[in-house]
Amino acid sequence: MPTFNYQFTVEAPQAAVVAFHHDTSVLKMLTPPPLFVQLHYFEPLGEGSRAKFTIWFGPLPVHWQVVHSKVNESGFTDTQVAGPLKKWQHRHEFVAVTSDVTEVRENITYEYGDGFKGRINRLMYAKLSLTLLFTARKAITRRYIKKSLRSKNV
């Protein structure tokens, strides 16, 4: 089964990075153009919480349903229960490097389906596509958390 790993640091305490990622509306912020996320149902992040959303790749809607597990102060996992891939499990980890620097670790295991849908997913969820997505998420996360910390210090 393919895996994708991505990590980066954020100049912020672990608690700030965790709070940012535990906000269920953050998925919309973390999805860069030309993608668009439409949230249909999103329970507050917790053990067994569920989310239902659509990611639009231009005019192409991709429907997802996930369940969250292993939710704690150091991360959480979302597992696809219905969606475009045969399997998808995404672990988010937040590790304090120092009191003011946190490392964000993203680990995804996934499996493409068969047939035409599988071939399309090989393009949409290729390692290059995921790298571009998470590079954008890194910049968005850093910018948003920096802005949030600045506004609290004013």
CATH code, 73 = 3.30.530.20
Alpha carbon separation from 8 to 47, 115, 136, 147 (Å, rounded): 25, 35, 11, 18
pLDDT in tens, the chain (154 residues): 899 999 999 999 999 999 999 988 899 999 998 899 999 999 999 999 999 999 998 898 999 999 999 999 899 999 999 999 999 999 999 999 999 999 999 999 999 999 988 898 898 899 999 999 999 999 999 999 999 888 877 5
Looking at the structure of the chain, the number of domains it has is 1
What domain range includes position 71? 3-153
